Structure 1
Amino acid sequence: MIFLLLLGVPAGLGHFYLWRRLVVDTTRPGTLGRRIGTFAVAGAFVLLMSALVVTRRVPPEYGKFFAWPGFVWLALLFYLAIALGVAEVPRRLLLRRATTAPVAVGTGAEPVEPVEVVPDPGRRLFISRSVAIGSGIAAGSVVGYGMTQALGAPQLLTVPVALDKLQPSLSGFRIAVVSDIHLGPLLGRSHTERIVRMINEQEADLVAIVGDLVDGTVAELGEAAAPLRDLVSRHGSFFVTGNHEYFSGHEQWISELDRLGVNPLRNEGLTVAGGIELVGVNDVTGRSYGDGPDFGRAFAGRDRANPVVLLAHQPVQVADASSHGVDLQLSGHTHGGQMVPFNFVVPVQQPSVAGLSKVDDTWLYVSRGAGFWGPPVRVGAPPDITLIELKSAG
């Protein structure tokens, strides 16, 4: 209910705004066009809410019929509201000028009667319709472009990171990092197969999946996740929970990933390649499920002479990581903002939107993720798979 209120109330206000600008302002009262437009906006709101509710209650093979139109419309609604909002000032200026003024004539010394300014309905309709059409074209173009980005192959990035404690013999050790795959009603087995193929082509030393793999249960999405068994690397594949795993039955997914040969790290660590401490902690959402992060347990028995690489879904966990002497934290969660201008909102909650940064003495790398949540749209935040190449600073 809280989730629906948080999205439903803004969505309802957004639809009301669109109804005013796209229907009321562009049609005459009582016309068939206004009735059709009103029905269309109301139907779009119902479609969006159905996508939010139904996709959580039915298997993905049925949920996709609600998810595709509903979530694409959510993106259109968002960018239409932005386009119309940007157009408000010029629209109002143009409407103010869209008046007719009868010419008053005075004779001799007689005073001229004040002129009554009368709105020109035809010109006002023309301006409102022009703004509506222009906003629709702009929003549609942005969403269309964003869909090609979201549904296309992830970018393959290579990011070198120098670690002071890394043995020179391990310089060049490569970790393939992927996050936020978000298997669900819109992304299935073919999405996983492409990710696995791209990672395997890089011949990485280690694969790290840093949370938000799924949006659904093992029964619903086990087949979609199955290609993960084909991941190949010299030192194995590892996984930590994201917030969406807890919404999807995290215990089932931990067991399923273990069965697929992807090793879950649940507040624990191990030494890899004879000189790198690999540690994984649960997502902070796990606290509500009795399965939260435990840094003390995770770091127990680790050799602090070796560099510590931490897998943690949310970048905000870097505060704890830094206090425990982590050299490099690998995270996801933010999607890089997914759709501009959300990239400007992410810093309110997280210390980094995407890419490599440093918090105290800890390097933090945040992947934009290989999938998407909600709208199948990415604007200004293309999906990625990253090869972290460790370098010896000595």
Structure 2
Amino acid sequence: MVVVFVVIDVVVLAALVGLHYYAWRRLVRDTTAGPGPARRLGTVVFVAGPVLMCAALVAERAGAPFLLQRILAWPGFLWMAFSLYLVLALLVGEVVRPVLRRVLDRKAPVAAGPAPVPEMQPTPNSSHQSPEPAPNPSQQSPEPTPNSSHQSPEPPAHSASSPQDPTRRLLLARTMAAATTVVAAGVVGNGAYGVLRGPKVKRVTVPLARLPRAAHGFRIAVVSDIHLGPVLGRGFAERVVDTVNATQPDLIAVVGDLVDGSVADLAPAVAPLARLRARHGAYFVTGNHEYFSGADPWVAHVREIGLRPLENARVELGAFDLAGVNDVSGENYGAGPDYAKALGDRDPARAAVLLAHQPVMIHEAVKHGVDLQLSGHTHGGQLWPGNFIADAANPTLAGLERYGDTQLYVSRGAGAWGPPVRVGAPSDITVVELASKQA
């Protein structure tokens, strides 16, 4: 198993180096006439960027001092997103490049060739003029002159507008480099703005066959994947809390990946969650990132600030059962999900809503007769085209789907992991409104 991980790490590192070399060649080497300050500066950027990116990842996972994590996180994680879209834009540019070259060829002035030799007009023969003597066939023809009409002309030298001209090559390379850089920066900037302004509210109605009429219209605010840490801090948590409270839900479900860091470092950032307000309270289940950070201290801390953890547990609300299970990654820490403990011995006539961080847990939910599972984890892919990978790894990428008699709703999450950037997967806080079929 260790050998497999080593091989994967080597392949990923080789791909990382190769893609950065490709971007450096197109954006730095091809756009500079030769060694000089501009090329040296560009090379420094393409070395420092991936180094900061790797350092930010390692610092977070290794539990480096929080100040160091914050210093590395912004430039490192932003470079991660920027380099992704830079490479994608360059690959698109490889298709556009030949078209642009042809356009430049058409617009370039045609080089002037040698002036044509005027054709000699014969003079009219005078009556007293003797006719030209007929050529003697036996006489040897003179050597052809350089301007002889039967000699093939020398190929013209490349003009200043030919594709081989260094000035033309630089113009094409710089035009493509500027375009791809602007596109990548625009995509990342817009994606970062979408995260930092806070999640938008999404509303979904879910009918449940066993939900009594009295519970028709019961609203659950689903909050997942806030990812408070070295990038998203207290200010972001306040925006999330204000957005949730403004929906005036009956119940709040925080379904994992609340933090990326320790209680000691992030307790001030999490503090605003104490202001969450709902008639039936706020509940919490662990996600995989809680286990990276220390799940037990976090479970204890969220309980202190007013959230109720559901560690393989169930509560009977007036209209339905609300259950929660630990994340599947907890199995590596001896605290995995226990569906029998959370859902066993309950009244099968009552509707059951399960809080479970990862969508892959839906199959166990179906076996245990759950009516609705609420999950997060996928981020909706977060960075296109990562949605294709996330979709392949999860039964549902985002939204509502049915599995037998069980429905699964997956939120794209409120925050972001790694780069504070989302492309093609806007963040959300979802208000799930339960509907009774008896109403």
Separation in 2, partners of 1:254, 1:270:
17
Task: Give the structure 1 partner of residue 322 of structure 2.
Answer: 278
Q: Which runs of 5+ in 2 are unaligned?
A: 117-146
Alignment match, 1:165: 210
Aligned match for 1:331, one of 340, 350, 375: 375
Equivalent residue for 2:221?
Answer: 176
Q: State the partner residue of 2:361.
A: 317
Q: Secondary structure at the match of 2:283?
A: strand
**2:226–2:259 contact (8 Å) kept in structure 1:** yes
Give the counterpart of 2:430 among 386, 389, 393: 386
Q: Which is further off, 291-300 or 107-116?
A: 107-116
Query: Of residues 72, 81, 98 in structure 1, which corresponds to 2:78?
Result: 72
Q: CA deviation at 1:312?
A: 0.7
Name whichever of 147-156 and 49-58 sits farther off.
49-58
In structure 2, the residue matched to 1:20 is: 25
Secondary structure of the corresponding residue to residue 68 of structure 1: helix
Per-residue CA distance 1:267-323 (angstroms, 9 max, x = gap): 221211x22111111111111111111222221122111111111111111122122
C-alpha deviations, 1:306-342, integer Å up to 9, x for none?
Answer: 1111111111111221222211110000111112221
Q: SS at 2:189's partner residue?
A: helix
Q: Is the 8 A contact 1:8 1:49 kept in 2?
A: no
Shift of 1:64: 1.6
| Structure 1 position 121 matched with structure 2 position 166 | yes
CA-CA distance at 1:103 after TM superposition: 6.9
Alpha-carbon distance, 1:229 to partner: 2.1
**Aligned partner (choices 90, 98, 122) of residue 84 of structure 1:** 90
Tell me whether 1:341 sits opposite 2:346 in the alignment.
Answer: no
1:369-384 superposed matches below 5 A: 369-384=413-428
Pair 1:232-2:238 in alignment: no
Q: Check conservation: 1:102, 1:115, Cα contact below 8 A.
A: no
Which segment is superposed worse, 96-105 or 35-44? 96-105
Asked if the contact 1:102–1:116 (Cα under 8 Å) also holds between the matched residues in 2, the reply is: no
Contact kept in structure 1, 2:221 and 2:252, CA below 8 Å: yes
CA distance in structure 2 between the aligned counterparts of 1:301 and 1:124, rounded to whole angstroms? 75
Matches of 2:93 and 2:16, distance apart in 1: 20
* 1:47 maps onto 2:52 in alignment: yes
In the aligned structure 2, how far is the partner of 1:305 from the partner of 1:36? Answer: 69
Q: Which residue of 2 aligns with 1:197?
A: 242
What SS does structure 2 have at the residue aligned with 1:269? Answer: strand
Stretch of structure 1 that moved more, 86-95 or 69-78: 86-95
3-state SS, counterpart of residue 361 of structure 2:
helix
Larger radius of gyration: 2
Question: What pairs up with 1:207-246 in 2 under 5 angstroms?
Answer: 207-246=252-291
* 1:147 maps onto 2:147 in alignment: no
Tell me the amino acid that sits aligned with residue 74 of structure 2: W
After superposition, the Cα gap between the structure-2 partners of 1:101 and 1:74, relative to the gap in structure 1 and judged at 3 Å, is farther
Q: Give 1:41's aligned amino acid.
A: F
What RMSD, in angstroms, separates the aligned Cα atoms of the two structures? 2.4
The one-character-per-residue Cα deviations of 1:346-385 (angstroms, maximum 9, x if unpaired) are 1110112211122222111111111100111112222111
Note if contact 1:315-1:331 (Cα within 8 Å) is conserved in structure 2: yes
Query: Residues 94-131 of structure 1, C-alpha deviation per residue, up to 9 Å, x if partnerless?
Result: 55898899979995344456778772221111101100
Q: Give the 3-state SS of the residue equivalent to 2:418 in structure 1.
A: coil
Tell me the TM-score normalized by structure 2. Answer: 0.83
CA distance in 1, matches of 2:11, 2:199: 30
- Does residue 36 of the first structure (1) align with residue 41 of the second (2)? yes
Where 1:78 maps in the other structure, the secondary structure is: helix
CA distance in 2, matches of 1:5, 1:196: 42
Displacement of 1:167 in angstroms is 0.1
CA gap 1:190/1:35 in 2 versus in 1, 3 angstroms: closer
Q: 178-187 vs 37-46, which deviates more?
A: 37-46
- Contact 2:53/2:76 (8 A) holds in 1: yes
> Are the counterparts in 1 of residues 414 and 427 from structure 2 also a CA contact under 8 Å?
yes
Supply the AA of the counterpart residue of 1:73.
Answer: W
Deviations 1:174-202 (A, max 9, x none): 11110001010111122222222222222
SS at match of 2:190: helix
Identity %: 49
Supply the distance in 2 between the matched residues of 1:372 and 1:188 (Cα, whole angstroms).
12
Instruction: Identify the match of residue 254 of structure 1 among 299, 311, 331.
Output: 299
Cα pair 2:381 2:391 within 8 Å, conserved: no
Q: Secondary structure of the equivalent of 2:207?
A: strand
Q: CA deviation at 1:234?
A: 1.6
